[in-house]
Amino acid sequence: MSIVLGDKEFFPSVPEVSYEGRDSDNPFAFKWYDANKIVAGKPMKDWLRFAGCYWHTFCGQGHDPFGPGTQHFEWNASSNVHKRATDKMDAAFEFFTKMQLPYYCFHDTDLIDEENSSVADFEKKIEFITNYAEKKQSASGVKLLWGTANLFSNPRYMNGAGTNPHFPTLARAGAQLKIAIDATIKLHGENYVFWGGREGYISLLNTNMKQEQDNFAAWLHMAKDYARKNGFEGGFLIEPKPMEPTKHQYDFDTATVAGFLNKYGLADDFKVNIEVNHATLANHTFQHELQVAADNNILGSIDANRGDYQNSWDTDQFPNNIAETTEAMLVFLEAGGLQGGGVNFDAKTRRESTDMEDIFHGHIGGMDTFARSLIIAEKIITESPYSDLRKARYETYQSGKGKEFADGKMSLEKLAQIGSEVGEPEQISGKQELFENIVNQYI
Ligand code: XLS
Ligand code: NI
Ligand code: NI
């Protein structure tokens, strides 16, 4: 990959970031992410398929509920909406190529300012910027991991998009959904994401939950049928999140989504995009969510970030916790990786991090955290007693009567008969501390 600039270089102080190893003191070098290094049989870059996200990195300027943005982006300087959009895209592709990011992701409204455009005007704007994106993608080789529609920021979607109680509003959202799907197909997007920001409710008093969920299923079927008819072969991904901005979001967690997909006949086409901070908001761990997805055969993609142990909101910080990411990578590797997705940095620098270089530090740290954890996890699986110890806990189901039970071939009468003959069963330790020590030994 070589660096792709526009008319102007937006990050002149940052060179191409490459692998220099753990002893390097260069803050603009990878200490662990060595794209072509083989781990568990294939190059790191093929396991991880890292993506940069447009919204936090090139749109969000650090605003919070108590104050406006603090980060000043040179690509926002022009008063012309088209020039602003191409400058932003130049900055984005400079960043992706300097960072060796093979993929990117966007919401339709990240690419170009929506302002108060009618559907027809917005469609023209998207056509303009996706024409430009085609050129940037082919000049750089950077590919689109996924596209999505922002159906949660505009005030018109305050009561939801695909779950809106008012049909004309749902239809207005549908017009935007169609444009975003078209843009994703045009740019050879490998997946299309649905994050249901306002698909949920605040008060049950004014909400017909069944109608809203049935409508949401109809909405997803319609989107899938349209995309398939127009040649889209990629994956559809639902991104679970329990709350924020609504109190009860319908895509609460992976288990909820799995049940929903099965109930409504969507399981053949839809998988999940698991975000770390959304897992923790649901009082789960990231690795729990990955395991539920893997066991339901819907582990599609990852939004990498982390929450904060003390704050209970979606802080979207860059991942930096090796121990936690290692536990996640154990699940990831045992599942054989992701089904068509990648690791997208849905993460933002802090409001107080105001240098242009800070977005590089955030991504370098995040990529190194995943890369290092992947290496550690492979060693734990191949060199340590971890897998065998866990397997041994279940060995009584591998043969004889235990297997007969597990295969569903035993009656309760027979089980009860065995239960009355075994006497008081032997006490078997779960040995959690030993498992924890093995993980730490390899870190
Ligand atoms: C917000 C979500 C969002 C999705 C894409 O919490 O993570 O960024 O990834 O709409
Ligand atoms: Ni996300
Ligand atoms: Ni988030």
Per residue in 170-219, pLDDT (tens digit) is 999 999 999 999 999 999 999 999 999 999 999 999 999 999 999 999 99
Looking at residues 139-143, what average pLDDT do you find? 98
Q: Judge whether residue 1 has pLDDT over 80.
A: no
d(CA 316, CA 126): 27
What is the distance in A from the centroid of ligand 1 to the CA of 30?
26
The catalytically annotated residue of 110, 251, 253, 368 is: 110
What is the distance in A from the centroid of ligand 3 to the CA of 316?
5
pLDDT, tens digit (0-9, with 9 covering 90-100), for 70-81? 999 999 999 999
Rounded to a whole number of angstroms, the distance between the first and last alpha carbons of the chain is 31
Strands 42-43, 38-39: parallel, antiparallel or unpaired by DSSP? antiparallel
Is 225 an annotated catalytic residue? no
d(CA 43, CA 102): 13
CA atoms within 13 A on the CB side of 139: 16
SS3 sequence of 353-382: CCCCCHHHHHHHHHHHHHHHHHHHHHHHHH
pLDDT, tens digit (0-9, with 9 covering 90-100), for 27-61? 999 999 999 999 999 999 999 999 999 999 999 99
Q: Is 303 in the pocket of ligand 1 (CB under 6 A)?
A: yes
Question: What ranges do the domains of the chain cover?
Answer: 18-383, 386-442
pLDDT of residue 38: 98
pLDDT band at 312 (very low <50, low <70, confident <90, very high): confident
Using only the alpha carbons of the chain, give its radius of gyration. Answer: 24
Looking at residues 126-141, what average pLDDT do you find? 98
Q: Is 344 in the pocket of ligand 1 (CB under 6 A)?
A: no
The ligand 1 atom at the shortest distance from the C-alpha of residue 275 is 7
The catalytically annotated residue of 107, 278, 288, 363 is: 107
* The token pair that represents 39 in the structure block: 């781990």
Class of domain 18-383: alpha beta
Residue 413: in which H helix or E strand, if any? Answer: helix 412-421
d(CA 21, CA 34): 8
Looking at residues 156-172, what average pLDDT do you find? 98
Residue 364's contacts (CB-CB under 8 Å, 6 or more residues apart) are 17, 27, 28, 29, 30, 33, 99
pLDDT of residue 328: 98
Which residue do the tokens 């979207």 mark?
316
Strands 248-249, 235-238: parallel, antiparallel or unpaired by DSSP? unpaired
d(CA 296, CA 290): 10
d(CA 393, CA 391): 5
CB environment 316-340: b (16+ within 10 A), e (fewer): bbbbeebebbbbbbbbbbebebbbb
Strands 50-53, 42-43: parallel, antiparallel or unpaired by DSSP? unpaired
pLDDT band at 243 (very low <50, low <70, confident <90, very high): very high
Residues, beta carbon < 5 Å, ion ligand 2 = 275, 303, 346
Is 110 an annotated catalytic residue? yes
Among protein residues, the one whose CA lies closest to atom 8 of ligand 1: 346
* Whole-number percent of the chain with pLDDT over 90: 99
Looking at residues 3-21, what average pLDDT do you find? 97
What is the distance in A from the centroid of ligand 2 to the CA of 346?
5
Residue 265's contacts (CB-CB under 8 Å, 6 or more residues apart) are 221
What is the distance in A from the centroid of ligand 2 to the CA of 315?
11
Backbone CA torsion sign across 347, 352, 357, 361: negative
- What is the residue-averaged pLDDT of the chain? 98
Q: Is 104 helix (H, G, I), strand (E, B) or coil?
A: strand
Q: Is 345 in the pocket of ligand 1 (CB under 6 A)?
A: no
Q: Judge whether residue 260 has pLDDT over 80.
A: yes
d(CA 349, CA 345): 11
Looking at residues 304-328, what average pLDDT do you find? 96
Q: Is 45 in the pocket of ligand 1 (CB under 6 A)?
A: no
pLDDT of residue 240: 98
Looking at residues 429-436, what average pLDDT do you find? 98
Number of the ligand closest to the Cα of 110:
1
Q: Is 198 in the pocket of ligand 1 (CB under 6 A)?
A: no
CB 200 within 8 A of CB 163: yes
Residue 290's contacts (CB-CB under 8 Å, 6 or more residues apart) are 274, 299, 302, 328, 331, 332, 335
pLDDT, tens digit (0-9, with 9 covering 90-100), for 341-390? 999 999 999 999 999 999 999 999 999 999 999 999 999 999 999 999 99
What is the distance in A from the centroid of ligand 1 to the CA of 195?
6
Q: Is 182 in the pocket of ligand 1 (CB under 6 A)?
A: no
pLDDT band at 135 (very low <50, low <70, confident <90, very high): very high
